[in-house]
Amino acid sequence: MDPATTNAGRAAAAAGDRDLYRAAGFGRPVPRGKRPAILVVDFSRGFTDPAVPTGADMAEELAATRRLLDLGREKGVPAVFTTIAFDAAQLDSLPWLHKAPGMAALVQGSPLVAVDQRLARRREEPLIVKTGASAFFGTPLAAQLAAWRTDTVIVTGATTSGCVRASVVDAMQSGFHVLVPRDCVADRAAAPHEANLFDMQQKYADVIPLDEVLAYLGGLPAAAAAEGGRL
């Protein structure tokens, strides 16, 4: 096997797909709104600790997300975090835990469900507990974003091919424009990571470098952003 050839082949195929998608009317840029919010999906120790079976090394993506959060905090952009945490009483019946029993380690009270400390979550940043893949499914997240009068959701977290993808689809469906800073989403495997970035960029979100998202936040008027969730 020749990786260069493989990569070239993949690049050619992806370029062909991009043309196909363009002809079908996909892949256009989404507007950047005046009231963004930052969503941090499942950067909990169950995913960010490489010593855990469901985890992987996500140090770079965590550092990039911290940069995003810090600028957002400075500009008054609200942030919300999610974590997967099952009630022990649910473990027998939920279909997801038949397909992916590795998730069952994420029970309420386990240290695995805590948000990674490298993100320094603040008291005023809500933590949404979820039992599905999407940050929106079976949670009050859409209502929280609407209550903040959000127009644009910046999605970060793990994993790209799982809960991030599902959350991006739901954020778009819920009425928001979606940005995915590619430096801020992580996965345990490279091929699904890339394949899902491709899908998201074509169909649901702008997948862009972190620097572009930072420039967008930096350009927000201080007052408008600081108005935050207040009416």
CB 144, min distance to a second copy, A: 7
Does the annotation mark 184 as catalytic?
Answer: no
Is position 143 an interface residue for a second copy (rule: CB under 8 A)? yes
Q: What is the CA radius of gyration of the chain?
A: 18
Residue 74 tokens, joined: 């400075």
Residues 5 to 24: which contact a second copy by CB under 8 A?
Answer: 5-6, 8-10, 12-14, 16-17, 20-21, 23-24
Instruction: Assign 97 to helix, strand or coil.
Output: helix
Q: Is 221 in the site for a second copy (CB under 8 A)?
A: no
Choice between 26 and 216, CB closer to a second copy: 26
| Interface stretch with a second copy, choices 57-65, 68-76, 102-110, 210-218 (CB under 8 A) | 102-110
Q: Which is nearer to a second copy, 53 or 63 (CB)?
A: 53
**Binding to a second copy, residues 57-86 (CB under 8 A):** none
Please, are residues 71 and 217 in contact by the beta-carbon 8 Å criterion? yes
Q: What are phi and psi of 155, to 5 degrees?
A: -105, 130
Q: CB–CB of 28/151 below 8 Å?
A: no
Among residue numbers 116 through 135, which ones bind a second copy (CB under 8 A)?
Answer: 123-127, 129-134
* 51 belongs to the binding site for a second copy (CB under 8 A): no
What DSSP designation does 125 have? S
Q: Does 195 bind a second copy (CB under 8 A)?
A: yes
Cα 29–Cα 33–Cα 35 angle in degrees, nearest 5: 150
Neighbours of 126 (CB within 10 A): 14
Catalytic residues: 163
